[in-house]
Amino acid sequence: MQSVTYRADLSPCTPLKYQQDIEKYAGNIECSECEARAWFVRGSLGGVREKAACFAAHHEDGCQIKTVILVIDGEDAGPSDGADTAQIVVDLNKRSSQTIMAPEPSNKPPVYSPWGSLQKKYANASDYPINKSLRQILSHLIRNPNYPEDDATIKVVTDGGRVALEGSIRSLLSSQHQLSNIELGSVRLFWGLITNVNRRNGLVWLNCGDYLTEPSLLVSDENLEEEMLSAFKLHDMNELAGARFIVIGWLSGSEKKPIINFGFAKYIAFVKYRIKDEEEQEK
């Protein structure tokens, strides 16, 4: 899309206007027809063809002004046929057999969380199977936001066999639009859409809309940012604009500005998207 609607006053916004005032428009734009939240996609000069800057969105079915096709970036998030999702058990201590382990620096401070003070033991977030399990739940939610409609349960076991989260997925799951009655500090599953990324005072904020008034995921320090860049093969955090997420974390902030916190990259999973190339569309 080369034009979207600025939600505050319903005025049109072009890529040029967006880049001239990112602070104003980021998280506050939507498709002019179906009103799906939109995000900015930077242009590029690499490759055979120059790609102009544009906007993208997860459009509603039947939207007539969808001008780009989004495809999942990386492996498909969908569960295999016949996958049993009635009970998901995640063991954070279970590592793949061929993992190269790297010790944490001895002077690295512990992470403070609702589980107490935690010292990370393994440097590679992909050592753990949680991302695959969370992606399975997320893939169901993308297809059906009311998932699960039955009594599916989840149990997450972390260091030393401690149960970090256990119970009905439905009762523990909250979308970015359902945070008003959530107890601050309680550990839950959160999911939603990242529309923009910004950096304030050295902290990275993955925003679900307007940075000032809508939920954000807080990347609380440089170590967590580096861990996420490595685990999810990102060049920079801005690549998460347009991604769906699911995370085990806790809520802070206020009703006006909810903040979703998490300690390690192993507690979060994404389904990232990219714009389908013209060459791919022609096949």
pLDDT higher than 50, residue 96: no
User: Among positive and negative, which fits the CA dihedral 113, 235, 18, 274?
Assistant: negative
The whole-number average pLDDT for the span 245-257 is 93
What is the residue-averaged pLDDT of the chain?
81
Q: Which fold has domain 87-274?
A: OB fold (Dihydrolipoamide Acetyltransferase, E2P) (2.40.50)
Mind listing the pLDDT tens digit for each residue in 135-150? 888 988 999 998 887 7
Q: Under 8 Å CB-to-CB from 36, ≥6 apart: which residues?
A: 30, 57, 58, 59, 60, 63
Q: Which residue has the higher pLDDT, 208 or 113?
A: 208
- What confidence tier does 244 reach under pLDDT thresholds 50, 70, 90? very high
- What tokens appear for 144 in the block? 């059906």
Determine the Cα–Cα distance for residues 56 and 86; give it in Å rounded to an integer.
34
Residue range(s) in the chain whose domain bears CATH number 2.40.50.140: 87-274
What percentage of residues in the chain have a pLDDT greater than 90? 49
169 phi and psi angles, rounded to 5 deg: -60, -40
Mind listing the pLDDT tens digit for each residue in 71-94? 887 655 555 444 455 677 766 655
* CA neighbor of 154 nearest in space, from 143, 144, 163, 142: 163
Q: Which residue has the higher pLDDT, 116 or 34?
A: 34
pLDDT higher than 60, residue 100: no
The whole-number average pLDDT for the span 174-187 is 92
- What confidence tier does 97 reach under pLDDT thresholds 50, 70, 90? very low
